[in-house]
C-alpha cells in the first residue's frame, strides 16, 4: 500500500508498510546517484528488485519478470528534465504527459490535492489523512532540471 505523487518537480511517497495486520514504517522512494528519483508501489520485495534494475542501467533484457502468483509492483522513475515514466510488470516505459500524477492507494485523493494546487508532499499528506492504505510520513526528492536533487522526509 503506497501513495506516490509527482508535481513536475518533486516526487513524494508515503512510508506505510503492511505485513498482514502489522504496520511498519518503510522507505519506498530513493534519489538516484546520477540525478532523479524512483518510487515503488505494491509489493516492496518486487519493488526493491525494480529499484536494483534501475540502478544497474535499466537494460530491457534484465528486467525482473513477475513470476506466476507473485504480488504486483509499480515503478515510477523521474529523471532531470524528463517526464515521469511508469513501469508495470514490463520493461516498456509508460510516459506521463500530464504536468502531475499520482499512483497507488490514495491516488485519487492525491490527484485532487494536486489539481487544487498542492505540491507532491502536501498531496501525499492529504492522501495519508483520508485513505487508510497510506501514511506514516513522507519521503520526497526535489528534482532540478540541471540534474541536482534534494531529498528529505517529513
Instruction: Look up the CATH number of the domain holding residue 60.
Output: 3.60.20.10
Residue 50 has pLDDT above 70, yes or no: yes
**Which runs of consecutive H residues, i.e. helices, occur in the chain?**
44-55, 107-115, 120-130
Residue 48 has pLDDT above 90, yes or no: yes
Residue 1 has pLDDT above 90, yes or no: no
The domain in which residue 140 lies consists of 3-153
How does residue 70 score in pLDDT terms, banded at 50, 70 and 90? confident
Residue 87: count other Cβ atoms within 10 Å of its Cβ: 21
Three cell numbers, residue 26: 518503510
Residue 47 has pLDDT above 90, yes or no: yes
Exposed e or buried b per residue across 121-143, where buried means at least 16 C-beta atoms within 10 angstroms of its C-beta: bbbbbbbbeebeebbeebbbbbb
Q: What is the tally of structural domains in the chain?
A: 1
Q: What is the pLDDT of residues 124-142, one digit of tens each?
A: 999 999 999 999 999 999 9
What's the average model confidence in pLDDT over 34-58? 94
Largest CA distance in the chain: 43
Amino acid at each position: 500500500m503506497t501513495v506516490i505523487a509527482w508535481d513536475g518537480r518533486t516526487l513524494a511517497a508515503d512510508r506505510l508498510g503492511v505485513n498482514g495486520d502489522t504496520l511498519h514504517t518503510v522507505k519506498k522512494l530513493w534519489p538516484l546517484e546520477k540525478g532523479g528519483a524512483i518510487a515503488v508501489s505494491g509489493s516492496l520485495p518486487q519493488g526493491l528488485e525494480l529499484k536494483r534494475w534501475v540502478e544497474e542501467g535499466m537494460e530491457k533484457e534484465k528486467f525482473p519478470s513477475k513470476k506466476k502468483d507473485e504480488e504486483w509492483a509499480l515503478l515510477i522513475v523521474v529523471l532531470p528534465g524528463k517526464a515521469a515514466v511508469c513501469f508495470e510488470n514490463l520493461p516498456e516505459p509508460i510516459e506521463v504527459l500530464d504536468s502531475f500524477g499520482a499512483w497507488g492507494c490514495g491516488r485519487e485523493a492525491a490527484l485532487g490535492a494536486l489539481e487544487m494546487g498542492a505540491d507532491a508532499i502536501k498531496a501525499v499528506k492529504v492522501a495519508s489523512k483520508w485513505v487508510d492504505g497510506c501514511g506514516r510520513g513522507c519521503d520526497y526528492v526535489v528534482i532540478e532540471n540541471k540534474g541536482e536533487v534534494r531529498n528529505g522526509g517529513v
